[in-house]
Amino acid sequence: MIRIGRQLGRYFALVSMTSVLLITVLSNIGMNIFFTMYLRDSQKSEDIAISDYATELLHEDGLLDETDLMSIEHYAFTMSAEVIMEDSNGKVIMSTREPSEAPDGELGRADYMDTEKFGYKEYSYGSMEPGEGKIVIGRPKSIFSASPDRNFLITINLIYLAAAGISLIIGFLLRRRVSGMFLNPIYSIQKNAKYIEDGNFRGVMDVETNTIELDELSRSINNMALKLEQQERLRKRLTSDIAHELRTPLSTVNSHLEAFIDGVWEPTTERLSVLQDEIRRLTNLIKDLGDLSYMESGEIRLATKEIGLSKLVANIVENFEPLFASDGKTITADIEEDIITMGDSDRLNQVFINIVANSLKYTNLGGHVRVTLKMNGDEALATVTDDGIGISVDDIPFVFERFYRSDRSRSRETGGKGIGLTISKALVEAHRGSIWIESRDSEGTTVNISLPSKKG
């Protein structure tokens, strides 16, 4: 394993060196190919200029004397060329270099040539007729064999070497810059993740960065920490709630049985009925937990068919009217007719009965509950509004959590098992609908249910 800062340093160095090396190689190849072609063309023009110069001198004087030959030699020297001149009889009359050997006999063209280092081309001068003089011009086989050319090549490569050094320095500085821009936020996010791993959700801090991806990652980490903290708090509360729901009926059953065993009480029908009620309470709790687990698994099977939602809600309100009247409360309805939805009538009954029952439970004496059902585009919006005790703003985000209840006193008068809304939410979402709550403490509550529907 290696730290990202060191990896970035290596990558910057590798990219810099690779770039400079690639430029150096390509430049040298270019100089050896294209620059050579350019020089060859240029040298050919110079060779023709030397031949034309010799012809011009010959035409002026009718012959080439020592002065003319020196002029030609000097002219060839200025063009960095080796020149061998022959008269019309093939005799060497001038050469810019000494012969390689000095034999007793007459020297020929080959004695003045160095074919290992130079390439030679033959040109005519003086006249286009047969028997004209020949001029042989030699050029270095390598364009960099001359000292100025070699110096030029060395200078260019030294510049590339200096560029490589400068690139490495810039890469090192950029690595430090990048470390400040990218790595510091990453290290902060890593520290936040470590806090979450250790369960220290409060230790998670905001990370300042101008990089969009890192900012989104930081926000996701912070949101995850917030939700994990909420879930941890709910988990602890869930444990307490389950213990409470189980403790009360079990304590009642245990105390009655002990009284029966000790002979303090007679097992009368009334007392046995109390035990039966508590056992039924435990049975219903276990059943509801099983239903909740099944619904939250995402595998709810609905007996879907076309049902009259207007009639279903109206029947529920009508059935609840006697219960409201006996509790000194009222319920009214404003239901748009002929609203149809595709769904499971039993499951939807369960949802609306649970919502209306909650409004009855939490509405004060003399209070009022209003149920409405209206079409809203392609959906039906049902609302159940009461003027009861309301829900604290802090509690609203958690009311659909299992066993969550805003009345921490858990009195038997208002107490349920705390999973009714959780089940309702799962059933509504199974019908491709949505449910949400609007409420203020001591100002009443409105439960909204939206379901895909149409007019029938």
Question: What pLDDT digit, counting tens, does each position of 171-186 carry?
Answer: 777 777 776 677 788 8
CA distance between the termini of the chain:
67
Which of these three, 270, 296, 322, is where a domain ends? 296
Model pLDDT for residues 35-53, shown as the tens digit of each residue: 778 778 888 888 888 888 8
Quote the pLDDT of residue 212: 82
Note whether 280 and 343 are same-domain residues: no
416 located within any domain: yes
Identify the top-confidence range among 203-212, 381-390, 402-411: 381-390
**Residue 376 domain-assigned?**
yes
Q: What is the pLDDT of residue 145?
A: 58
- How high is the pLDDT of residue 6? 67
113 and 253 in a single domain? The answer is no
Same domain? 253 vs 378: no
Residue 90 is assigned to a structural domain of this protein:
yes
Residue 283 pLDDT > 70: yes
191 assigned to some structural domain: no
List the structure tokens of 172: 């090192």
Give CA–CA dist 310/341, Å, rounded: 9
**Cβ-based neighbours of 163, under 8 Å, separated by 6 or more:** 20, 23
Question: Higher model confidence: residue 174 or residue 429?
Answer: 429
Residue where the block lists tokens 């400079």: 20
One domain, residues 270 and 391: no
**Which structural domain range is residue 229 located in?**
212-296
- Shared domain for 14 and 74, answered yes or no, is yes
The CATH number given to whatever domain includes residue 236 is 1.10.287.130
Q: Are residues 138 and 233 in the same domain?
A: no
pLDDT at 414 over 70: no
Instruction: Give the pLDDT confidence score for residue 140 in this predicted structure.
Output: 81
Count: domains in the chain: 3
Query: What value does the mean pLDDT take over residues 60-88?
Result: 84
Chain-centroid distance of CA 454 in Å reads 41
Residue 194 lies in a domain: no
- Checking if the pLDDT of 75 tops 80, the result is yes
pTM of the model: 0.49
Q: Is the pLDDT of residue 80 over 90?
A: no
How large is the average pLDDT for residues 150-155?
72
Question: How many Å separate Cα 204 from the centre of its chain?
Answer: 22
Q: 269 and 379, same structural domain?
A: no
Q: Which range is most confident: 61-75, 285-299, 360-374?
A: 360-374
As a whole number of angstroms, the distance between CA 244 and CA 255 comes to: 16
Q: Kindly give the pairing relationship between strand 434-440 and strand 368-376.
A: unpaired
For 336-374, write each residue's pLDDT tens digit: 999 999 999 998 998 999 999 989 988 988 999 999 999
Of the candidates 394, 393, 419, the one whose C-alpha atom is nearest the C-alpha of residue 405 is: 419
Q: How far from chain centre, in Å, is Cα 49?
A: 68
Q: Are residues 255 and 116 in the same domain?
A: no
H helices within 62-181, ranges in order?
66-78, 147-178
CATH number at residue 310: 3.30.565.10
Same domain assignment for residues 73 and 140: yes
Say if 13 falls within a structural domain.
yes
Specify whether 232 is located in the same domain as 358.
no
- Token pair, residue 231, equals 């879930």
Q: Identify the band that residue 236 occupies on the pLDDT scale cut at 50, 70 and 90.
A: confident
Mean predicted confidence (pLDDT) in 189-208? 84
- For residue 204, is it within any domain? no
pLDDT of residue 384: 96
Q: What is the mean pLDDT of residues 4-11?
A: 67
**% of the chain beyond a pLDDT of 90:** 20
What average pLDDT does this structure show over 370-392?
A: 93
The pLDDT of 98-127, averaged and rounded, is: 78
pLDDT band at 25 (very low <50, low <70, confident <90, very high): confident
| 179 is a domain residue | no
**Domain edge (last residue) among 272, 296, 320:** 296
Q: Are residues 256 and 368 in the same domain?
A: no
CA distance 322 to 328: 10
Inform me whether the pLDDT recorded for 154 exceeds 60.
Answer: yes
Average pLDDT value over all residues in the chain: 82
Query: Which residue, 240, 272, 296, sits at the end of a domain?
Result: 296
- Residue 381's DSSP bridge partners are 374, 450
Query: 274 and 359 share a domain?
Result: no
Q: How far apart are CA 139 and CA 148, in angstroms?
A: 15
Q: Please give the distance of CA 318 from its chain centroid, rounded to a whole number.
A: 55
Q: Which two tokens stand for residue 197?
A: 């791993």
